[in-house]
Chain A
Amino acid sequence: MRQMTLALLVLAATATGALARSKAEQTMPANEATVAMVKAIEMRFDDPMHVTAITLTGPDGDVSIERETGIDAVTEFRALPPAGLPDGAYTVDWRGLSSDGHPMQGTFSFEIAD
């Protein structure tokens, strides 16, 4: 048991941000991109993904975003941030359920600058 805990801790320490059970998804804006403005936040998945939660965090904290995609499983997800986001660093965190029932999560960041 103690060895297993240790093994889990080692796994935890070496875990990367890599997304499990799906090839790295494509996002708009792209991860670590610098953009002038953001009209929409988009994510593409290889297999239908049920996106259950998504948050956008900006320089002033959480930003409420409006889901354009409903609650069905999709390969293309789209949500709209409010217009005129201030300059700064932003992070998108999402959670979901893949088609085989596995909980999924991912994160990507971008920067808004003129």
Chain B
Amino acid sequence: MEGLAPIDGWVIAAIIAGAMGYGAALLAMGGPLFAVVFPAANADVRQLARKVAVIAALVGLAVLALRFGIRAARISGMGLPGAVDPMMLGFVWDSPLGAAAIWRGSGELLVVALLIRGIVGLSAGLIGALLIAVSYTFVGHSLGDPRWLLASLLTLHLLAAGFWIGALLSLRHAVGQPDGARLLHRFGNVASFTVALLVVVGLIFAWLMTGSLSNLLSTAYGWTLLAKLGVVSGLMALAALNKWRFVPALASGAPAAVPHLRRSIQIEAGAVLLILLATATLTSITTPPVNL
């Protein structure tokens, strides 16, 4: 198979850290987005959304440091001593990851400012979410041509993904709440647009990276992308089931709707985890066919 890098323990570590970094970044972005889209949600639910975002932002900062070490170890060829080698860390800092780290780190710190109540905290969180999304356009495959189109597509993709993934825990919490059905219904309506946007910009990005259908089947990038799309399709089916079946059932007071919806959201979270791992694999060890 074409376009697959050699794999060792450090590469596996890089994939896992990459997926953790994505998860943390998306959850951190999701909190402020949730707060601004659903200002009327139950205080308890909004509080949870904020808490999740702040914890995720702090985890994100730690993962960022970890990724620096892993990358330094990989480029040093020395293993663990390379992870703390000042010269190797300096090389990583001077690479695109350095610039990305400044934006992402600043963004995650601003999300921590969600702890400040009111408009100040929320504004900081929203700017933070945008900085985190933009930070991903400084490194990796989106640096190709056409640069601005790829960067814009990726930023939109990440903001839409953050909105969805960041909302999952709060939605699960809202299931048992008195006005939960109303929030879930509203989320379903907003998500109809944001999830469509997420998928469409993702597909355009993937098409620009792949170039042709035959490249999908002959490259490691193509197969990993297909695996990701497979899980995404399952997730879409589940989301549709929630929107058209379980949420209306919850609204009509059917007792079985509560456990159904909770379990469904948990499975969604599991699917998201697989998607993040597939994405980290895609960005860590495969080469887009257009670059081969």
A residues near B (Cβ < 8 Å) are 1, 3-4, 7-8, 11-12, 14-23, 50, 52-53, 55, 71, 93-97, 99-105
Query: Which listed residue (A7, A94, A97, A102) contacts B91, Cβ 8 A?
Result: A97
In the complex formed, the residue of B with least CB distance to A105 is B6
Q: A18 touching B3 by the CB < 8 A rule?
A: yes
Question: How far does the alpha carbon of A55 sit from the alpha carbon of B227 in the complex, in Å?
Answer: 37
**Inter-subunit contact B291/A18 (CB<8 Å):** no
Does B172 count as interface, using CB distance less than 8 angstroms?
no
Q: Which residues of chain B are within 8 angstroms of A53 by Cβ–Cβ distance?
A: 75-78
Q: Are B143 and A20 in contact (CB-based, < 8 A)?
A: no
29 contacts between A and B (CB under 8 A): A8-B7, A8-B15, A11-B4, A11-B281, A12-B7, A17-B6, A18-B4, A20-B285, A20-B286, A50-B95, A52-B75, A52-B76, A52-B88, A52-B91, A53-B77, A94-B77, A95-B75, A95-B76, A97-B75, A100-B96, A101-B97, A101-B100, A101-B140, A103-B14, A103-B71, A103-B74, A105-B5, A105-B74, A105-B77
User: In this complex, what residue of A is CB-closest to B285?
Assistant: A20
Give me the 7 closest cross-chain CB pairs, A-B, nearest first: A20-B5, A101-B96, A103-B74, A52-B75, A53-B77, A95-B77, A12-B7
Q: Are B3 and A20 closer than 8 Å at their CB atoms?
A: yes
Interface size of B as a range: 35 or more
| Cross-chain contact B95 with A101 (CB below 8 angstroms) | yes
Chain A: minimal CB distance from B173 (Å):
24
Using a CB-CB cutoff of 8 Å, which residues 82-115 of chain B contact chain A?
88, 91-92, 95-97, 100
Contact (Cβ within 8 A) A100 B3: no
Partner of A20, one of B4, B91, B273: B4
Chain A residues closer than 8 Å to B6, beta-carbon distance: 15-18, 105
Residues of chain A within 8 A (CB-CB) of B277 are 4
Shortest distance between the CB of B283 and any CB in chain A (Å): 9
